[in-house]
Structure 1
Amino acid sequence: MELDGALTAQSLDEANPSQADTDAFRVLSSDIAAGVGVLSTVLRRRDYAATVSSFLSVSYDPPTLLVSVYEESRICEAVTASGTWALSLLSNDHRGTVNWLASPGNPVEGLLAQVPFRRGPSTSSAVISSALAWFELKTVAVHPAATHQLIVGQVLSMGRDVPAGSATDPLIHFGGGYERLRR
């Protein structure tokens, strides 16, 4: 399989993918464009937050979202333990926040000290200021999936911090980096 030029078809051993299979998947799946958000929660009076790009709307009735998080991460442990969380969808103006919350090894104490946010009305989780949209959720199911947990939440409250129709610059994760959606 060639990763720099044209790719040839490759079958995987489902039970035991090779390191080459894993590396090829990482390269190919980086071409999935995805929105960028911040997942946050409060556990034992401490804020937890992380940048995420694996989330989706599951249902409109009742309003339900899903987020995928690495099972050994602090945010996964905190969200599953607290049972409530927030998801803030971000614009290109939030790159600094996104990079900070995506940094491995950032501190637990004072994590949000340099991030503009307010408390959500239903969960008190951090809602990032000027979010294109935000949702507060209660966990209704958690499903293991390989090295991740799929956390399904029913929406408790939602809103936007920008006027309707002005959310024209969402931040997108594509090709291993952050990009603007050009219209």
Structure 2
Amino acid sequence: MEISDPLDSVRISPQAPSQSDIDEYRRLSAEQAAGVGIVSTVWRGRDYAATVSAYLSVSYDPPTLLVSLYEGSRIAQAVASSGQWALTLLTADQQREANWLASPGTPLEGLLSQVPFRRGPATGNAVIEGGLAYFEVATTAVHEAATHLLVVGNVVGMGSGVPWHPGLGPLLHYAGDYRKIKP
């Protein structure tokens, strides 16, 4: 059965969206809850890390991940150039870490000084302590998509940062804010 309601529908031009089209897309796409993670890498001897909510498990065989990074960001340049990265999935209690690494203008020197982390055994990239899970990834492809880079890679190491317990849950991004799953 087809349902049509022109009041709920907006047609846009992908080649030249208006600012109101972009704002409406942002509002509507925020209606999807997404897990929050930290992507990190080491490039030219320096740590880079940023909060992300656009990542995807692409395949289980072989284990493959994808992360979407704003092309003009330091983290996108570092991840694309280094050839390897780590993704730590955050718990609901790690909003402070997510906020710090999502803040524009965070310093390059001492970026991770406020975030407890350890080095991943496979890549040496920062793995955030206490995360639900972490994945160390070797990049296999980088694709340009509009204003972002889609970085795809094979998982070369993984683990968990905390033992599971009934109150443990992921940090989510929904409707422009961080959320928790209610037990």
Same fold, judged at TM 0.5 (above):
yes
User: 1:120, 1:75 → 2: CA distance?
Assistant: 18
Which residue does the alignment assign to 2:66?
A: 66
User: 1:153, 1:165 → 2: CA distance?
Assistant: 30
**Pair 1:117-2:117 in alignment:** yes
Which residue does the alignment assign to 1:152?
A: 152
Cα deviation for residue 20 of structure 1 reads 1.0
User: 1:43, 1:181 → 2: CA distance?
Assistant: 35
Which residue does the alignment assign to 2:27?
A: 27
Which residue does the alignment assign to 2:42?
A: 42
1:51-73 CA deviation, whole Å, 9 max, x = no partner?
00000100000000000000000
CA contact under 8 A between 1:132 and 1:167: conserved in structure 2? no
User: 1:91, 1:138 → 2: CA distance?
Assistant: 24
Matches within 5 A, 1:1-183: 8-164=8-164, 168-183=168-183
User: 1:142, 1:167 → 2: CA distance?
Assistant: 37
Query: For structure 1, which segment, 41-50 or 157-166, has the greater mean C-alpha deviation from structure 2 after superposition?
Result: 157-166
Cα deviation for residue 165 of structure 1 reads 5.3
Query: For structure 1, which segment, 9-18 or 107-116, has the greater mean C-alpha deviation from structure 2 after superposition?
Result: 9-18
CA contact under 8 A between 2:138 and 2:154: conserved in structure 1? yes
Find runs of 4+ consecutive structure 1 residues off by over 3 angstroms: 164-167
1:32-59 CA deviation, whole Å, 9 max, x = no partner?
1000000000011110000000001000
Unmatched 5+ stretches in structure 2: 1-6
Report the residue type matching 2:49 in the other structure: A
CA contact under 8 A between 1:42 and 1:125: conserved in structure 2? yes
Identity percentage of aligned residues: 58
Q: CA RMSD in A?
A: 1.2
Query: For structure 1, which segment, 9-18 or 27-36, has the greater mean C-alpha deviation from structure 2 after superposition?
Result: 9-18
1:92-140 CA deviation, whole Å, 9 max, x = no partner?
1111110000000000000001110000001110000011000000000
Report the residue type matching 2:115 in the other structure: V
User: 1:167, 1:117 → 2: CA distance?
Assistant: 22
Unmatched 5+ stretches in structure 1: 1-6
CA contact under 8 A between 1:88 and 1:128: conserved in structure 2? yes
User: 1:63, 1:99 → 2: CA distance?
Assistant: 29
* Normalised TM-score (structure 2): 0.93
Report the residue type matching 1:68 in the other structure: S
Query: For structure 1, which segment, 160-169 or 70-79, has the greater mean C-alpha deviation from structure 2 after superposition?
Result: 160-169
Between Structure 1 and Structure 2, how many residues are aligned?
A: 177
